[in-house]
């Protein structure tokens, strides 16, 4: 039996999921320079994909988690093909609209999703025949996935495609002159972003054993924007720090509900005023040359 309180273990598990989601948004916002509000869409798609494959087809979670990751990546490509050809402002609107549309579909397709009632009794994940029983096992699993997400982001950004991604973000006309296709590069980024979010969604479903259309809610995007921007968009560790701090902090402040909003708001204001590049300045220079805000 774990000596750590189940409550703290739960916070740790949720922090790990937010690390995946923060890196998902960071790939788009930080390294591609595009604000995507589709992260909850990929998150929800991954959750429903893994859940339905598990409950209806009886697939092992090792396979459904991989499928959820693939569904997220494919969704990124499908959404990216038309939306990435638009202006930046239109792109934001389209990604938000896609998320809202999926929420409407999930709410009304009763036969598949059970609508607002949601899907309950989702079994815990089983990896190669071994079930993740208890919060301690889930915490260890999410710690491994978080580390892999950071490593994957590092590999992506350090690769030739990653450098092209940053080049397009910083100076698109110059990148085009150098023979880089911005659409293909951003499609690659969108696919990577969708894959991480889809995986996080599958983990969420199997961990909580319940999902409903609220999983597509805009509040997820709001939280992720705070984590990534204040943590340090376009850096490797900034979104990780943002995910940890802004998942743990609200829980810590819940013990003082009278001043929770005041303290939380003041902290956000101080970070914006004194660390405009985000908390990543605590971790040294950004991962890649030119990484940061893209300005």
Question: In which domain, by residue range, is 101 found?
Answer: 6-216
d(CA 241, CA 244): 5
What would the pLDDT profile of 157-209 be if each residue is shown by its tens digit? 999 999 999 999 999 999 999 999 999 999 999 999 999 999 999 999 999 99
Domain count across the chain: 1
Is 293 part of any domain? no
- Mean pLDDT within 143-154: 96
Confidence of residue 282 (pLDDT cuts 50, 70, 90): low
The pLDDT value recorded for residue 290 is: 44
Whether 242 contacts 97, CB under 8 Å: no
Distance of CA 108 to CAs 48, 51, 78, 101, 201, Å? 14, 18, 22, 11, 20
Q: With a cut of 50, say whether residue 289 has pLDDT above it.
A: no
Backbone angles phi, psi at 233, to 5 degrees: -65, 140
Looking at residues 41-49, what average pLDDT do you find? 97
Mean pLDDT of the chain: 89
pLDDT range class, residue 284, cuts 50, 70, 90: low
In a domain, 244, yes or no: no
3 state DSSP class of 245: helix
Give the per-residue pLDDT at 295. Answer: 38
Q: Is the pLDDT of residue 287 over 50?
A: no
Q: What pairing do the DSSP bridges indicate for beta strands 126-127 and 130-131?
A: antiparallel
Beta strands in the chain (DSSP E): 119-120, 126-127, 130-131, 210-211
DSSP conformation class of 117: G
| Residue 278 lies inside a defined structural domain of this protein | no
Percentage of the residues of the chain whose pLDDT score is greater than 70? 93
């Amino acid at each position: 039996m774990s000596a750590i309180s189940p409550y703290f273990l739960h916070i740790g598990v949720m922090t790990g999921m937010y690390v995946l989601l923060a890196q998902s948004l960071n790939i788009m916002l930080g390294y591609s320079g595009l604000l995507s509000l589709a992260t909850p869409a990929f998150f929800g798609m991954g959750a429903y994909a893994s859940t339905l494959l598990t409950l209806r087809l009886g697939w092992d979670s090792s396979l459904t988690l991989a499928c959820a990751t693939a569904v997220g990546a494919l969704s990124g490509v499908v959404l990216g093909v038309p939306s990435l050809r638009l202006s930046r402002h239109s792109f934001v609107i389209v990604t938000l609209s896609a998320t809202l549309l999926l929420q409407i579909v999930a709410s009304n397709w009763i036969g598949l999703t059970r609508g607002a009632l949601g899907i309950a009794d989702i079994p815990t994940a089983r990896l190669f025949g071994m079930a993740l029983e208890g919060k301690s096992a889930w915490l260890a699993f999410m710690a491994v996935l978080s580390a892999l997400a950071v490593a994957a982001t590092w590999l992506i950004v350090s690769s030739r495609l990653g450098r092209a991604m940053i080049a397009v973000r910083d100076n698109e006309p110059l990148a085009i002159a150098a023979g880089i296709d911005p659409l293909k590069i951003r499609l690659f980024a969108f696919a990577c972003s969708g894959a991480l979010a889809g995986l996080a969604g599958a983990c969420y479903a199997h961990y909580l054993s319940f999902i409903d259309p609220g999983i597509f809610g805009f509040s997820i995007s709001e939280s992720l924007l705070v984590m990534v921007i204040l943590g340090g968009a376009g850096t490797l560790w900034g979104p990780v720090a943002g995910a940890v701090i802004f998942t743990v902090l609200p829980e810590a402040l819940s013990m003082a509900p009278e001043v929770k909003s005041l303290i939380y708001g003041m902290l956000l204001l101080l970070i914006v005023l004194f660390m405009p590049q985000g908390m990543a300045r605590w971790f040294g220079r950004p991962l890649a040359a030119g990484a940061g805000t893209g300005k």
